Amino acid sequence: MMSETFKDGLVKTSYEHIVLDARGRAVIANTGMKVKQLAAEHLNWGWSPEELHFQHPHITLGEVYSALAYYWDHRIEIEQELRDDSEYVRQLRENTPESPLIARLRQG
């Protein structure tokens, strides 16, 4: 199958509204919204497609459904991306010195 690549480096997928960015991550076309972000909100807060659309009015309900279809068809990869993101944040928190403000607040 031939992939169509756009001038901005995005790669078309077989999912309407979904493109892959230069790093291969699924994004809703022309929005910057990553599929993994919607998937995380769906999983963590139990938001329905309608609630996701309500929370993100700049994306259409069709785009939400397309993103969720992509997520369910690529669940293992996207959940790995979410775990990688969580690990990255954990490492940042662990390796970043406490700010002077936080230290003063802890002293009470």
Confirm whether 3 is domain-assigned.
Answer: no
Confirm whether 94 is domain-assigned.
Answer: yes
Confirm whether 48 is domain-assigned.
Answer: yes
Element (H, E) at 11: strand 11-12
Does the pTM surpass 0.95? The reply is no
Domain that holds residue 38: 11-107
- Residue 26 belongs to domain with CATH number: 1.10.10.10
State the chain's maximal CA–CA distance in angstroms: 63
Give the residue-averaged pLDDT of 6-10.
70
Confirm whether 58 is domain-assigned.
Answer: yes
- Of the candidates 66, 77, 71, 4, the one whose C-alpha atom is nearest the C-alpha of residue 31 is 66
> What three-state secondary structure class fits 96?
coil
* Structural domain count of the chain: 1
Confirm whether 5 is domain-assigned.
Answer: no
Query: Looking at residue 14, what is its pLDDT?
Result: 82
DSSP string covering 27-87, please? EETTT--BHHHHHHHHHHH---HHHHHHH-TTS-HHHHHHHHHHHHHTHHHHHHHHHHHHH
Cβ atoms of residues 41 and 34 within 8 Å: no
pLDDT, the chain, mean:
90
Q: Tokens at residue 23, please?
A: 């790093």
Dump pLDDT digits (tens) for 62-98.
999 999 999 999 999 999 999 999 999 999 988 988 8
